[in-house]
């Protein structure tokens, strides 16, 4: 998707490369990620989430659609990996850290099936 911000594009590239260090750098130090009913705050918790929920199951994320609203960017995603039910559809709601979307201050992930 050509119209995604660089921070979101880099996030997807890092997840797909199984590169937790790079995933963490996409987020602000006080970022919040909500996934599967869990709320993760800050780089340490986001690192654990990336290792457990992405790297451990070799997740590959493919954006399939995108919209924006006043709160950020909403990306429809196909997730594949070594987890039950793969592939599965999700919605990723990214909140930018600033007007230029140089990093991610929030991410809420919901199942779209």
* 66, containing H or E segment: strand 60-69
In tens, the pLDDT along 11-54 reads: 999 999 999 999 999 999 999 999 989 999 999 999 999 999 99
Q: Span 58-80, mean pLDDT?
A: 97
Q: Give the per-residue pLDDT at 30.
A: 97
In this structure, are residues 53 and 59 in contact, taking their beta carbons and an 8 Å threshold?
A: yes
Determine the Cα–Cα distance for residues 80 and 21; give it in Å rounded to an integer: 21
Could you tell me the pLDDT band of residue 1, with boundaries at 50, 70 and 90?
Answer: low
Single pTM value for the model:
0.95
Please give the domain boundaries of the chain with CATH numbers for all domains. 6-111 (3.10.450.50)
CA distance 80 to 27: 23
């Amino acid at each position: 998707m050509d119209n995604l911000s660089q921070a979101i594009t880099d996030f997807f590239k890092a997840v797909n490369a199984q590169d937790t260090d790079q995933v963490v750098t996409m987020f602000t130090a006080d970022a919040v990620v909500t996934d599967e009913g869990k709320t993760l705050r800050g780089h340490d918790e986001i690192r654990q989430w990336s290792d457990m929920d992405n790297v451990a199951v070799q997740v590959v994320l493919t954006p399939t659609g995108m919209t924006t609203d006043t709160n950020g960017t909403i990306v429809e995603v196909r997730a594949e990996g070594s987890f039950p039910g793969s592939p599965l559809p999700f919605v990723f709601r990214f909140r930018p850290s600033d007007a230029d979307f140089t990093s991610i201050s929030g991410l809420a992930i919901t199942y779209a099936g």
